[in-house]
Amino acid sequence: MEDTPEEPEPNPMTTKLQGDEYLPLSGKPYCDIILAKSHVGPRYQMALPVKLNRIIPPLMIPMVLTYRGKNWEMLYKGSQCVKWLGSGWKAFADDNDLKAGDACVFELMESCRTKIILRVHILKGDIPSEFLDKVEGESLASPIVIE
C-alpha cells in the first residue's frame, strides 16, 4: 500500500470562498463588509460604504448582484442620504445563507445612470461571541466595531 501525501495545512493568509472557489479581484473598485445582525435579519438593511457611493450615481436605479453564476435583481436607493440596497438584498442574503460574521466583498463591475452590477465574493466566518455579547449590531447607530 502506497503512502499518500498528506494535504498541506491551509495557509491562514489565503481566503477560501464558499464552494471552494478562489476568485481574484478584477482590479475594479470594491468594498468589503463584515455582516452584522442588521444586514441579515430581521430588517435586512444593507448600505454600501462611502467608498463605492462616491462612484455610483446618486439615483434610484436597478442593481444586480452576481455570485457563482446567479443574479439577484434589486433597486439601489442612491437618492437618499444613506445609500441602501432594496428588498432584493433579503433574497440574496437568504439564498446564500448569510449570517452575522460572514463577509461580503462587493466589486463594482458596471455603473452607469441606468444600471449597477456588483460581483459579490462571500467569505464565511463567525464573529467571536465576546463581540456579540457586548454589541447588538442591529443598526447603523450601534454597529459592531472590531479594532
Task: Let me know if residue 119 belongs to a domain.
Answer: yes
Q: Does residue 128 lie in a domain region?
A: yes
Count of structural domains, the chain: 1
Could you list the pLDDT tens digit for every one of the 147 residues in the chain?
545 445 444 333 334 444 445 567 888 999 999 999 999 988 899 998 888 888 898 999 999 999 999 999 999 998 878 889 998 999 999 999 999 999 999 999 999 999 999 999 999 885 555 555 555 555 556 665 665
In a domain, residue 95? The reply is yes
Domain of 111? Answer: 29-134
Judge whether 113 lies within some domain: yes
Do the domain assignments include residue 85? yes
* CATH number where 58 lies: 2.40.330.10
Residue 141 domain-assigned? no
CA-based angle 69:75:76, to the nearest 5? 100
The verdict on residue 35 lying in a domain is yes
Start-to-end Cα distance in the chain: 51
Dig out the grid coordinates for 96 from the structure.
Answer: 446564500
Query: Residue 23: inside a domain, yes or no?
Result: no
Phi-psi region of 119 (alpha: psi -120 to 50; beta: other; left: phi over 0): beta
